[in-house]
Amino acid sequence: MTQTENEMQTYFRFHYGHYTLAEMQNHVSVDGGDDGGEEGICACESVSELLRNTVFTNSDDHEAEVVVLRGRKMMNIYDGVRIYPTEIVAAFKPRQFAAQAETIAETYEQW
């Protein structure tokens, strides 16, 4: 099954700090590499995509966090997607996320 543009899906996001779902729903990611900067937050569609993304670091400094989100894809961008999040599924420290990447992918990725 392929995902359609507005179908609910699981996404992976790295950010500094801890945010509630409401805060993420009202936040617009600042990303100079795309033209969709008017709405949505940046995320990745797979664990491996996030691990390769330039934003990712496996350092737990500065309250870094990786969240697994359900949401609707708004658009593709050069290094991931912009989404409207509808549910926080799980949260990990970056070091834990990197160390358990295969298990996290098996548990949360949708195909």
Tokens of 13: 């996001």
To 10 degrees, the CA torsion angle through 66, 37, 81, 97? -10
Up-side HSE of residue 3: CA atoms within 13 Å toward CB? 19
Q: Are 64 and 55 in contact (CB under 8 A)?
A: no
> Residue 87: what pLDDT?
97
Up-side HSE of residue 77: CA atoms within 13 Å toward CB? 25
Q: Which region, left, alpha or beta, applies to residue 21 given φ > 0 means left and ψ of -120 to 50 means alpha? A: alpha
Q: Where are the domains of the chain?
A: 8-108
> Residue 110: what pLDDT?
81
> Residue 27: what pLDDT?
87
> Residue 48: what pLDDT?
95
pLDDT band at 5 (very low <50, low <70, confident <90, very high): low
Total-model pTM = 0.86
Q: Are 29 and 40 in contact (CB under 8 A)?
A: yes
